[in-house]
Each structure stands twice: as structure tokens, then as C-alpha cells.
Amino acid sequence: MINLIEQTTDFLKGKGFDNPEIGIILGTGLERLPEHVEIQKEISYNLIPNFPTATVAFHKGKLLYGTLAGKRVIIMQGRFHVYEGYTLQDVTYGVRIMHALGIKKLLVSNAAGAINLNFKKGELMLIDDHINLQGGSPLAFNGVDQLGDRFVDMAAPYDTEMNNTLESLAKASGVQLHKGVYASVVGPQLETRAEYRYLKIIGADAVGMSTVPEVIVANHLRLPVVAVSVLTDECDPDNLQPVDIPEIIAMAEKAEPDMIALFKGLIESL
């Protein structure tokens, strides 16, 4: 993997993706942040050596480089998932590349379903902890110890300082920002009523199909990370409605301005 990472980073540096300070991963329905970026370079994933290609219709699949709130940022506009047929090493390859290019902080967003019924769709949740239900680890491969410690401590996987800043920003601006536990499942099928009850029992406040692998690798690289979920539906097993993907995308778009404001404020403070 070291050789692959070197090939990819050398290619991107040659394209002008040089010395970014902050990496950002944009999730489902969260596409408008780049409108606030002074974009200097962009490239499709399928043109980057060794990079996976986003196959989900509502993920654009581009790597962007530019300036946001006075900081050099690199943005993954679209991410990868195990349910697309990728390995966990594929899913997290972008994090390793952004780190190799020079980022010092990582900001992650996703769309998730609210297990905690005190949380409502269209609101945001700051991820304080997570439960990995993807059936594997992005660190489970031969040679991982050449890239970082094999046995990574996960007592506090999300950066306390950035979490505190986001909470302060939300309070000052009147944005409803819950804090809770995110469960990451494989998908792509949505959960059954029994599965939603199980997730609640084990302590999940929200559920999605991403983020945890990237956060594990960020911790492996000792890269401070923060993550925010846009809550797109309410997962009440006693009143469960059939999934409506267009409504989920619409809810993500509704909450996106608040997420963008929080991310911009955080980046300004770094």
C-alpha cells in the first residue's frame, strides 16, 4: 500500500494538490459546501491513479482543492462504501491520501437515520462515539504496522477540542446540534423494525453506512477528526414507513446550510 499511496500523492502534487491543511469528506446529499470554496483544482476520481470510483448516483466523485475560510482545503465530493463492493481499505484510501498530502485535521459529514426519537429529521448530530457493525476493520491487513500502530486506541476517536468548538458555534448561532453515538452498518438495505430496536438497545442514536472506517484510519494516522450527521429520517420501529430516498436527499439538503455554517466556523477557528 505504501507504493500505491506514493504513486497517488505524487500524481496529485503534480496536479497542484499541494500542502492542504484540512481534509473534508462530504456525504449523501451534501454537495453545496464547494460553493463556498475558492476552488483552484479539481479532478474526477476515475482519473486519479489507484483511487476507487464513486458508484452512488448522488455522490459526484471529485477531489477538490482550494481555499475556505482562509485555509487550504481538500474535499472529497463523494465517498466510498462497502456496499458498493469495495474493501474497507478501498473505502479509506482517500483518508490516507489526504494525510499523505499534508492535512492536519479531518472533517467528515454523512446522512443518517435517527434512532433516538428525541432527534428529528432535518437536524444535525455531532458524533461523540461510534459502533462498528461493518463486520471488519480497515486496519486488518498485512503490513498495516508500516503505516501506524497496529493496535489503535479508540477511547476517544473524535477530537474533543473540535467537538467543543462545534457545540459552541451551534449554541451561538441557534443551530440544533445533538450529540450522540453513530452506528455504522454495511447496507445498502435499510434496517428492519427488529434491527432498529436492536440498535437502540446497544446504545446507538443514529445509523448510517459510512464514516466509521474513515474515522478508524484517521485515528491510525493520529489525525484529529470530527464528524457530523445530517438526520434524514426517523427510525421508529413502531411506526415505520417505507424508505423514500428522494425525501432523504431533500432532508439532507434542508439541513446542509447549518452544517456548512458550522464547518466554516470551525475551519476559521483552526
d(CA 98, CA 75): 9
Lowest mean pLDDT among 96-105, 204-213, 234-243: 234-243
Q: Give the mean pLDDT of the chain.
A: 93
CATH number of 2-269: 3.40.50.1580
Which of the two residues, 258 and 253, has the higher pLDDT score?
A: 258
pTM for the full model?
0.95
Lowest mean pLDDT among 45-49, 167-171, 239-243, 256-260: 239-243
Give the whole-number percent of the chain exceeding pLDDT 70.
Answer: 97
d(CA 87, CA 167): 34
Residue 54: its pLDDT value, please?
A: 65
Residue 56: its pLDDT value, please?
A: 59
Residue 106: its pLDDT value, please?
A: 98
Lowest mean pLDDT among 29-43, 87-101, 108-122, 209-223: 29-43
Say if residues 252 and 129 touch (Cβ distance below 8 Å).
no
Assess whether pLDDT exceeds 90 at residue 1.
no
Residue 250: its pLDDT value, please?
A: 84
- pLDDT confidence of 129, banded at 50, 70, 90? very high
Residue 247: its pLDDT value, please?
A: 84
Which of the two residues, 28 and 188, has the higher pLDDT score?
A: 188
Assess whether pLDDT exceeds 70 at residue 58.
no
Residue 55: its pLDDT value, please?
A: 62
Q: Is the dihedral of CA 67, 68, 71, 75 positive or negative?
A: negative
d(CA 166, CA 262): 6
Assess whether pLDDT exceeds 70 at residue 193.
yes
Q: Which DSSP string corresponds to the chain?
A: -HHHHHHHHHHHHHTT----SEEEEE-TT---GGGGSEEEEEEEGGGSTT-----STT---EEEEEEETTEEEEEEES---GGGT--HHHHTHHHHHHHHHT-SEEEEEEEEEE-STTS-TT-EEEEEEEEEESSS-TT-STTGGGTS-SS---SS-S-HHHHHHHHHHHHHHT--EEEEEEEEE--SSPPPHHHHHHHHHTT-SEEESSSHHHHHHHHHTT--EEEEEEEEEE--GGGPPPP-HHHHHHHHHHHHHHHHHHHHHHHHH-
Work out the average pLDDT over 173-188: 97
Residue 47: its pLDDT value, please?
A: 94
Give the whole-number percent of the chain exceeding pLDDT 90.
Answer: 84
Residue 151: its pLDDT value, please?
A: 95
